[in-house]
């Protein structure tokens, strides 16, 4: 809508009818675009903002049904209301029109008042959907602005949206649930807008108090998105994306199937993406390492093992983004270390790399030594020996401070 003036597209091959409709609409102050066939109609809708499209059913090159289907199939034009005009009050035409996504019908011979009434109500509807789209756009921009604060997570939301929706579709979820998963991928962490930056961007471990504040973000996110009716199916995903199957998650400590399935789907994709991208607190895991870690966490009772299997199947079908850097296990591989450090520097370099790998494994497993040892492919006693060996030697990291199950840096699952 430009300066309060609506743009109406008329696609009609009969010149007399086309001009008559155009004249009625111009008299009401609308801007009218008129074309003669279905193909031209689609090109016009794609080329400029249209508030309402009126398509004759029988047209050269492409029928009104086909043009309507094309308009409704594209995300950028699907909300343009389409009125189909047919010569017969034919039930079959009507059924076909509904299947093509038509919003309304007009029958020839046309009546001026009927046409104008239809146009008025559909333009009002378009105004509402425009406002709704704007609100969604604001919400999504806000979510992406939070992500932009942390360069390490850049692109996380977009990848999450893509994978969560793909997993939903693989599982045969409804269209509404799939769309909700896509939206949740972008906005699930929007509540972080309410978290003070020193906590949000802190690189080291969070204190218990800071962690409690950080853990408010799912509830805050739900509150921010609650007024948007189109986000109704997204709200439970936002609220419950940090629950764990064993009840140890937050904010409600839900267990098993109490956690909405869509939230369980998002969790798996979220953890996978966090593990397969480089973060300050861990190097990127390879796809296989990440899946192995997620499976272990599923065994511990955190994630839905059935959904992990489905996600593994999805990854097998599609190409996932591969991590840019070498994995933690590569760092522990003596050959890779020797290549990186050169023959002369191989021994001290290996020690440095090992130490770094141990630190990263501990951090990424939130201080769980058993899990860290497994990820490193070494025994638990070897890990303890290495910790003893490195004690006090790592700058800024105090190994004695690492205790069983201590949360060193909870960001990967925040």
Question: What are the residues binding Fe ion (CB under 5 A)?
Answer: 189
Query: Whole-angstrom Cα distance, residue 243 to residue 248?
Result: 7
The secondary structure element, H or E, covering residue 53 is: strand 52-56
Query: Whole-angstrom Cα distance, residue 39 to residue 70?
Result: 10
Give the HSE-up count for residue 29: Cα atoms under 13 Å, Cβ half-sphere: 8
Please count the helices (runs of H) and the strands (runs of E) in the chain.
19, 5
Between the CA of residue 204 and those of 211, 250, 370, what are the distances in Å?
Answer: 12, 21, 22
Closer residue to Fe ion in complex, CB, 59/274: 274
Produce one character per residue of 277-314: b if its CB has 16 or more CB atoms within 10 Å, e if not.
bebebbbbbbbebbbebbebbbeeebbbbebbebbbeb
Q: How far is the CB of 373 from Fe ion (least distance, A)?
A: 27
Q: How far is the CB of 189 from Fe ion (least distance, A)?
A: 4
Closer residue to Fe ion in complex, CB, 243/368: 243
Query: Whole-angstrom Cα distance, residue 324 to residue 361?
Result: 18
Q: How far is the CB of 200 from Fe ion (least distance, A)?
A: 11
Q: How far is the CB of 146 from Fe ion (least distance, A)?
A: 10
Reply yes or no: is the peptide bond before residue 251 cis, omega within 30 of 0. yes
Closer residue to Fe ion in complex, CB, 83/290: 290
Q: How far is the CB of 338 from Fe ion (least distance, A)?
A: 40
Q: How far is the CB of 411 from Fe ion (least distance, A)?
A: 10
Q: How far is the CB of 164 from Fe ion (least distance, A)?
A: 13
Closer residue to Fe ion in complex, CB, 52/263: 263
Locate the DSSP E strands across 97-218.
104-107
Cβ neighbour number for residue 11 with a 10 Å cutoff = 28
Q: How far is the CB of 184 from Fe ion (least distance, A)?
A: 11
Q: Which residues contact 330 (CB under 8 A, 6 or more apart)?
A: 336
Query: Whole-angstrom Cα distance, residue 273 to residue 270?
Result: 5
Closer residue to Fe ion in complex, CB, 56/243: 243
Query: Whole-angstrom Cα distance, residue 37 to residue 33?
Result: 12
Q: How far is the CB of 199 from Fe ion (least distance, A)?
A: 13
3-state secondary structure of 318: coil
3-state secondary structure of 56: strand
Q: How far is the CB of 268 from Fe ion (least distance, A)?
A: 14
Closer residue to Fe ion in complex, CB, 170/413: 413
Closer residue to Fe ion in complex, CB, 33/200: 200
223 contacts 231 by C-beta, under 8 angstroms:
no
Q: How far is the CB of 385 from Fe ion (least distance, A)?
A: 36
Query: Whole-angstrom Cα distance, residue 58 to residue 329?
Result: 65
Closer residue to Fe ion in complex, CB, 142/336: 142
* Residue nearest Fe ion, Cβ-based: 189
Query: Whole-angstrom Cα distance, residue 386 to residue 320?
Result: 34
Size (the chain), residues: 414
Query: Whole-angstrom Cα distance, residue 339 to residue 208?
Result: 42
412 contacts 405 by C-beta, under 8 angstroms:
no
302 contacts 246 by C-beta, under 8 angstroms:
yes
């Amino acid at each position: 809508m430009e300066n309060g003036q609506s743009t109406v597209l008329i696609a009609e091959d009969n010149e007399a009818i086309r001009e008559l409709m155009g004249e009625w609409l111009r008299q009401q102050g609308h801007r009218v675009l008129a074309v003669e066939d279905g193909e031209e109609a689609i090109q016009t809708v794609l080329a400029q903002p249209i508030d309402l499209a009126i398509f004759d059913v029988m047209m050269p090159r492409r029928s009104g049904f086909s043009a309507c289907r094309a308009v409704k199939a594209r995300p950028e034009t699907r909300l343009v209301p389409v009125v189909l005009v047919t010569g017969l009050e034919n039930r079959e035409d009507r059924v076909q029109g509904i299947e093509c996504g038509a919003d309304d019908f007009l029958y020839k011979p046309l009546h001026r008042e009927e046409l104008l009434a239809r146009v008025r109500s559909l333009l009002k509807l378009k105004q509402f959907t425009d406002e709704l789209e704007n609100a969604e756009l604001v919400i999504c921009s806000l979510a992406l602005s939070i992500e932009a604060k942390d360069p390490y997570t850049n692109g996380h939301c977009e990848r999450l949206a893509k994978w969560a929706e793909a997993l939903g579709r693989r599982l045969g979820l409804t269209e509404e649930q799939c769309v909700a998963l896509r939206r949740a991928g972008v906005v699930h962490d929007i509540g972080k807008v309410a978290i003070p930056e020193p906590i949000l961007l802190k690189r080291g471990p969070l204190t218990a108090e800071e962690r409690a504040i950080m853990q408010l973000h799912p509830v805050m996110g739900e509150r921010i998105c609650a007024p948007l009716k189109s986000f109704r199916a997204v709200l439970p995903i936002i609220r419950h994306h940090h629950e764990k199957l064993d009840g140890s998650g937050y904010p409600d400590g839900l267990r098993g199937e109490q956690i909405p399935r869509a939230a369980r789907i998002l969790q798996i994709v979220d953890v996978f993406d966090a593990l397969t991208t480089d973060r300050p607190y861990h190097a990127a895991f390879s796809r296989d390492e990440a899946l192995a870690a997620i499976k272990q966490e599923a065994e511990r009772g955190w994630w839905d093992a059935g959904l992990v299997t489905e996600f593994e199947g999805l990854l097998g079908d599609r190409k996932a983004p591969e991590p840019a850097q070498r994995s933690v296990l590569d760092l522990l591989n003596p050959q890779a270390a020797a290549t990186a450090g050169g023959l002369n520097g191989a021994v001290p370099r290996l020690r440095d790399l090992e130490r770094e790998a141990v630190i990263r494994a501990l951090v990424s497993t939130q201080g769980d030594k058993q899990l860290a040892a497994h990820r490193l492919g070494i025994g638990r006693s070897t890990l303890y020996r290495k910790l003893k060996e490195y004690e006090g030697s790592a700058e800024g990291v105090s190994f004695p401070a690492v205790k069983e199950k201590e949360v060193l840096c909870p960001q990967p699952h925040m």
